Amino acid sequence: MQDTLRKQILADSIVLENELLSPDADIWLTLNCTSLYPEPVTAAFTFVLKQGDDTRKIALTEDVEPGPNAVEAVFSVKEALYWLPNGAGEAPVYEIMAGIEAEGEVQDVANAYAALYELEIYENRIAINGKALSGAVCITEKPLSEISDAELDEIKALGFCGILAEKTDSAAVRDKCAARGLLVFENEISPQVIRFPGGPSPKDCVRSAKEACGALARALAEKETPGVYYAEAAGGVNRFFVKRALAPAGLFADGGSLWCYNRSFRDFAGALETEDGTKTAFYLDPGETKGFPLSGHQGAVLRDKDGKELARVWLGEKSASPKLFVSRFRISPEEYRLAIAADGFAECVEIKTDTGVLSDNYFSLAPQESREIIISGCKKEPQLSCSAIEL
């Protein structure tokens, strides 16, 4: 009872926002707490970030008012360990602990877990940290909070990369999934998106989880090139957008304008280059979006202050069926290398072969983009066909 009476500042929750700027990351955290003291009091706050043998500490002293309070801190991590789902790579999780002291007594403690990744979803494409995600997602009617640890272990062992379940606000359950490399999708996301995540084709979605999360997922996990993540055909005009994975800023076209947006928590300095040679330097505050007139330009590139390309947009007439170009090279008795490109935007390119295993398939190609695919385990010279769906 005495310990309970001493507990006058309660740790309610830790809210995390992760800013990923490859290869580094900033972990922004807000500790929400409630003071039961009738008057303001000075409190000491200690935040600890731990991953493996790496431990970091932040100590702050703040004046706490009666009632709700929020204390903020940020951990800047160099060469951060990014999280990947089951079957695609390692799933490191950062543990965060927060402690509160006042008047010489420990008031309360709280903990949370941070998995560092960027997830982008559009129609039939899912990308995590800029890499196409393939694999099977376990669809369950049970609320996520009712799935036991043993069931989560079984879902991971079967090779699933995520779970589609009813929405839950339980951070503890999400942390358990993250530790097992399982993405959590909530039930407002269409199962069609989950079952066709840029890897297997719709007819292949009935494959077993182990097969779907096999060699294809491992091969895609090694790719770091930015891919097209959004395509739109409207009013006879195609708009193709490409964003480098984990870039602090992006670019899109809408309403007769080009729009640049800053998705980071820092100021952004960059330049917009259009195909007519015009170069416009600009600044964006955190979260700010700025528009530029299109003026009939067919394309534009967004660069940072050092000249690194972050995003690109193409505008063009709608093409019913882009032409695909495929080159084939034999690199060993049982292995071939394919180089594939298109004269326009090609959505969901499908390669068929009568022998061997493809390292990649069912991807999109933007104009001027090429992709290399390896066919391994060939018993003979492969007979190939290549096609793309019509936008």
Range(s) of the domain holding residue 357 = 324-389
Could you say which of 266, 301, 317 is where a domain stops?
317
Task: At 312, give phi and psi (nearest 5°).
Answer: -150, 145
What is the structure's pLDDT at 123?
45
> Are 114 and 92 a contacting pair, CB within 8 Å?
no
Q: How many domains, the chain?
A: 4
Give the number of other CB atoms < 10 A from CB of residue 155: 22
Among 47-56, 176-185, 320-329, which is the least confidently predicted range?
320-329
- So what's the pLDDT on residue 219? 31
What is the DSSP code (8-state) at residue 355?
A: S
Do 98 and 14 lie in a common domain?
A: yes
Q: Which residue has the higher pLDDT, 239 or 385?
A: 385
251 and 344: one domain? no
Instruction: Give the residue-averaged pLDDT of 229-250.
Output: 55
Peptide bond into 293 cis (omega under 30): no
Tell me how far apart the alpha carbons of residues 272 and 258 are, in angstroms, rounded to a whole number: 9
Q: List alpha helices for 185-267, DSSP H.
A: 191-195, 209-212, 215-221
Q: Are residues 139 and 200 in the same domain?
A: yes
3 state DSSP class of 204: helix
| The pLDDT of residue 191 | 39
pTM confidence score: 0.56
Task: Give the CATH number of the domain where residue 360 resides.
Answer: 2.60.40.10
- Residues 164, 196: Cα–Cα separation, whole Å: 13
For the ranges 7-21, 128-142, 349-363, the lowest mean pLDDT is seen at 128-142
Alpha-carbon distance of 330 to 340, in angstroms, equals: 15
What is the predicted pLDDT for the residue at 391?
Answer: 42
pLDDT tens-place string over residues 191-233: 333 333 333 333 332 233 233 323 333 333 333 333 333 333 3
pLDDT, residue 345, reads 67
The per-residue pLDDT for 241 is: 61
Please, which pLDDT band fits residue 244 given cuts at 50, 70 and 90? low
Residue 34 has pLDDT above 90, yes or no: yes
Percent of the chain with pLDDT over 90: 21
Residue 273, beta-bridge partner list: 279, 301
Q: Which two three-digit tokens encode residue 35? A: 């003071």
Residue 190 binned pLDDT confidence (cut-offs 50, 70, 90): very low
Last residue in a domain, options 256, 290, 317 = 317
Residue range 140-159: mean pLDDT, rounded:
78
CATH number of the CATH domain containing 267 = 2.60.40.1260
Say if residue 14 is in the same domain as residue 63.
yes
**Residue, of 264 and 59, whose pLDDT is higher:** 59
Q: 374 or 160: which carries more pLDDT confidence?
A: 374
CA distance 328 to 325: 10
β-pair type (309-317, 299-304): antiparallel
Please tell me the least confidently modeled range out of 90-94, 246-250, 251-255. Answer: 251-255
**Boundary of a domain, candidates 301, 317, 333:** 317
Pairing of strands 299-304, 268-274: antiparallel
Residue 92 shares a structural domain with residue 124: no
Which is nearest to 262 in space by CA: 230, 305, 299?
A: 305
Q: Order across the sheet with 257-262: list the strands.
A: 249-254, 257-262, 289-293
Count of beta carbons in the 10 Å neighbourhood of residue 80: 22
Q: Is there a contact between 262 and 276 (Cβ–Cβ < 8 Å)?
A: no
**Rounded CA separation 349/199 (Å):** 11
- For residues 101 and 152, membership in a common domain is answered with no
Which tokens hold the place of 288?
């700010």
